[in-house]
Structure 1
Amino acid sequence: MAGNKSQVLSLYRQFLRNASKFEDYNFRNYFLRKSRDEFKKHKDVSDPAEIANFIKSARQDLLVLKRQAEISQMYHFDKLVVEKLDRHHRT
């Protein structure tokens, strides 16, 4: 079971890391929120088969997220008003 816990934690960190790579504010926040919600939803699962299915599914989803994050980085989006400004622009 300890191996599963470390695998799930590693997947969670990878999801957050890759979701943070999205250039667009809305996509970035959506994938961060969705990642957190999915892992929270499954945090109390104790059935080994269900955990294995979740890990398998999460790995597939992570590959898609990585590809989409890379594609997102190919295009520039203007910063939105709600995004943090560089420290040079703060008053």
Structure 2
Amino acid sequence: MSGKQALVRQLFKEMLETSSHIKDYNFRHYFTRRASQDLKTFEAAAISDEQTLDAHVSQTQARLEQLRRIQVVQNMYYRQPSIIEMQNQGGTDQK
């Protein structure tokens, strides 16, 4: 594994970590799922070309920066947990 491949994997892990800190259930699960799928796609491609790896590094860094901005905005306007979250936490007794 080259250093750039490891860097891309590390960036994807940071994306997963950042997305896990989004308070809104729907956005959190969407971005977590998207980052996981993108990582699996990257690993399945087994890219070894340096130019392609450079493109992946810059693209993944841009996505991570975008995700960090989304996290700030989403958490700033977060109001209350969704019904799904409340059910998972045992906050409501729906039958």
Gaps spanning 5+ residues in structure 1: where? none
Note the residue ranges of structure 2 that are not aligned, 5 or more in a row: none
Equivalence for 1:12: 12
Q: Secondary structure at the match of 2:76?
A: coil
Contact map agreement 1:23 1:77 (CA 8 A) in 2: no
> Superposed, which structure 2 residues align to 1:7-46 within 5 Å?
7-43=7-43, 44-46=46-48
Calculate the TM-score normalised by the size of structure 1: 0.82
Higher helix share: 2
Identity level (%) = 26
Whole-Å separation in 2 of the counterparts to 1:80 and 1:65: 21
Aligned residues: 89
Mapped partners of 2:18, 2:79: distance in 1: 17
Greater CA deviation, 38-47 or 18-27? 38-47
CA RMSD of superposed structures (Å): 2.0
